């Protein structure tokens, strides 16, 4: 099993689940900036040139949600079976995590990757920050009085592995106490800590919090 990986990216979701399941994998690391993700070699594995991709069972799987669902169902753990009462909830939160991640990715582009800074759109940055806050409020409300997204820890929690690191780079944690407490619980899990150690740090963020440019003066 080979996981194609970039530190600080969505591949953290997959690596975390692999650690939770006690599976072995080889990490193959790539860069977001050197152009190799656009190579024919990588696009043969992931057609859109996106991380993560997982080589397993004689094929490559791309799309992190598909990888997590495949792994959980292959191992028969950390996902409710079809027909189980929580199956719809599992699928909803699994895909909600990617809805939120797309907003985080847009904010990463605005704050970090767009050059020169004059290319940034302040109205879009404000809009995406508000959209991120909507998703954070939904999670905060859902997690009040709960330890995990479902009754028990599941692969849906692992889908937030990318989001947990990025979320409070753009939103104040104090505004979302239940979500912040959940993030602390998840990042304290032994499997998450093992995955974070293997992941190789963060290739994206160089500061704790990114203010909107107008807020920063």
127 is a domain residue: yes
Is-contact 1 26, C-beta < 8 A?
yes
147 is a domain residue: yes
Q: What is the mean pLDDT of the chain?
A: 95
Q: What is the pLDDT, as a whole number, of residue 178?
A: 98
* pLDDT one-digit tens code per residue, 75-134: 999 999 999 999 999 999 999 999 999 999 999 999 998 888 888 999 999 999 999 999
98 is a domain residue: yes
Question: Are residue 95 and residue 59 in the same domain, yes or no?
Answer: no
Question: Are residue 122 and residue 165 in the same domain, yes or no?
Answer: yes
216, pLDDT greater than 50: no
Q: What is the pLDDT, as a whole number, of residue 217?
A: 47
Question: Are residue 41 and residue 96 in the same domain, yes or no?
Answer: no
215, pLDDT greater than 60: no
Q: What is the dihedral of CA 73, 77, 202, 32, to 10 degrees?
A: -10
Range of the domain at 59: 2-75
57 is a domain residue: yes
CA distance 208 to 27: 27
Which CATH number fits the domain that encloses residue 7?
Answer: 3.40.30.10
Question: Are residue 16 and residue 96 in the same domain, yes or no?
Answer: no
Question: Are residue 67 and residue 23 in the same domain, yes or no?
Answer: yes
Domain count, the chain: 2
Question: Are residue 97 and residue 181 in the same domain, yes or no?
Answer: yes
213 is a domain residue: no
* pLDDT one-digit tens code per residue, 175-208: 999 999 999 999 999 999 999 999 987 778 889 9
């Amino acid at each position: 099993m080979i996981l194609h990986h970039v530190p600080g990216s969505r591949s953290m979701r997959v690596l975390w689940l692999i650690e939770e399941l006690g599976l072995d994998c080889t990490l193959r690391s790539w860069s977001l900036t050197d152009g190799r993700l656009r190579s024919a070699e990588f696009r043969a594995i992931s057609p859109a040139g996106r991380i993560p991709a997982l080589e397993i069972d004689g094929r490559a799987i791309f799309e992190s949600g598909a990888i997590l669902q495949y792994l959980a169902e292959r191992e028969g753990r950390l996902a409710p079976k079809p027909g189980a009462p929580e199956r719809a909830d599992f699928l909803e939160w699994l895909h909600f995590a990617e809805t939120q991640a797309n907003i985080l990715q847009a904010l990463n582009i605005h704050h970090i990757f767009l050059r020169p800074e004059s290319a940034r759109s302040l109205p879009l940055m404000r809009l995406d920050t508000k959209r991120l806050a909507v998703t954070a409020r939904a999670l905060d409300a859902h997690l009040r009085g709960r330890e995990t997204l479902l009754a028990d820890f599941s692969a849906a929690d692992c889908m937030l592995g990318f989001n947990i690191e990025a979320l409070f780079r753009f939103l104040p944690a104090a505004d979302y106490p239940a979500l912040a407490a959940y993030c602390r619980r998840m990042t304290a899990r032994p499997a998450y800590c093992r995955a974070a150690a293997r992941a190789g740090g963060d290739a994206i963020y160089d500061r704790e919090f990114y203010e909107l440019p107008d807020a920063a003066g």
